[in-house]
């Protein structure tokens, strides 16, 4: 049967978006507009890459969408929190995200910070509440929370952002430093998305090991391609283009040029696909997602 990756992504994105609407607190005309601010950024669009990867990883080892969905949505909430904070004037100072004004541009810096804080915290509550309702064991829920909190905190995404800020404007930065930033800032949460999906789906140690190899190669390739798109134009990434170069951020194109960066992203994608070779045809979505992301318009 012919597999259409665009249809797969679209259908899974629709499922995720519907559940996010259910899970997010309703705007209730509160004085603070906190819930409105949270919903503004989460529902502003986006590829939903991380939740889709979580669902696809659960399915590849025989799990169900229903059990993976709350964790998938929680990961998207955490990802959105990171974007709200990254866009702040004290961080990357971006005016547009996902093609719309950034959260702080609409609601102010203070409420944007609180909206991000709330999304991060509520995400873990969602994992616990829905995990129990869906019959996940307490040990699995704790394991999943451990994976995601490590990926999001000072050993993962937050550390990557801190290193990125520290290296900003530096003239002598190695390719290894750039890889570290990308692996932590972007790759860690992508890896957690895949691994937690695999665990919820019931994957064994060997299957999880292969999924880890896949996700690590995919995460780095994804960020390198984003860096290339920042040079070529912002249409695919939903934010202002050329920001990285203006701020002298650590990027692969900045260090080795666009052509070489594309070659590395291509190789990493092949490595991701190769890591899935021993899975059956249920791995088709994960394989096609990697190839689809590599083919984003430069």
Query: Each residue of 211-246: pLDDT tens digit?
Result: 999 999 999 999 999 889 887 654 554 555 555 555
Name 66's Cβ contacts closer than 8 Å, sequence gap at least 6.
134
Angstrom distances, CA of residue 141 to CA of 129, 133, 136, 168, 200: 10, 11, 7, 37, 9
**CB neighbours (10 Å) of residue 89?**
13
Query: Each residue of 100-136: pLDDT tens digit?
Result: 999 999 999 999 999 999 999 999 999 999 999 999 9
Angstrom distances, CA of residue 253 to CA of 37, 175, 180, 277: 34, 10, 15, 30
**Which tokens hold the place of 143?**
């394991």
**Which tokens hold the place of 33?**
């507009």
Residue 207 pairs with which residues in a beta bridge? none
pLDDT above 70 for 257: yes
Domains, the chain, with CATH or none: 5-294 (1.10.600.10)
């Amino acid at each position: 049967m012919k597999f259409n990756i665009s249809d797969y992504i679209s259908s899974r994105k629709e499922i995720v978006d519907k559940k996010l609407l259910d899970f997010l607190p309703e705007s209730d005309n509160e004085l603070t507009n906190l819930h409105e601010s949270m919903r503004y950024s989460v529902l502003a669009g986006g590829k939903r890459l991380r939740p889709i990867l979580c669902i696809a990883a659960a399915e590849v080892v025989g799990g169900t969408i229903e059990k993976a969905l709350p964790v998938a949505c929680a990961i998207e909430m955490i990802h959105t929190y990171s974007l709200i904070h990254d866009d702040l004037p004290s961080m990357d100072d971006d005016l547009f995200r996902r093609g719309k004004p950034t959260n702080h541009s609409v609601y102010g810096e203070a409420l944007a910070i609180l909206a991000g804080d709330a999304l991060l915290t509520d995400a873990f509550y969602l994992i616990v509440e829905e995990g129990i309702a869906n019959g996940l064991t307490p040990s699995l829920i704790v394991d999943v929370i451990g994976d995601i909190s490590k990926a999001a905190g000072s050993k993962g995404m937050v550390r990557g952002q801190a290193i990125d800020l520290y290296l900003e404007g530096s003239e002598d930065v190695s390719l290894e430093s750039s890889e570290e930033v990308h692996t932590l800032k972007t790759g860690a949460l992508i890896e957690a998305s895949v691994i937690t999906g695999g665990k919820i789906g019931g994957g064994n140690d060997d299957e999880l090991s292969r999924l880890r190899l896949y996700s690590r190669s995919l995460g780095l390739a994804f960020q390198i391609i984003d860096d290339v798109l920042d040079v070529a134009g912002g249409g695919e990434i939903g934010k202002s283009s050329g920001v990285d170069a203006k701020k002298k951020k650590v990027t692969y194109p900045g260090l080795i040029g666009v052509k070489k960066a594309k070659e590395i992203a291509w190789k990493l994608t092949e490595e991701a696909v190769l890591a899935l070779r021993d899975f059956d045809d249920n791995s088709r979505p994960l394989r096609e997602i990697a190839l689809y992301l590599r083919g984003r318009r430069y």
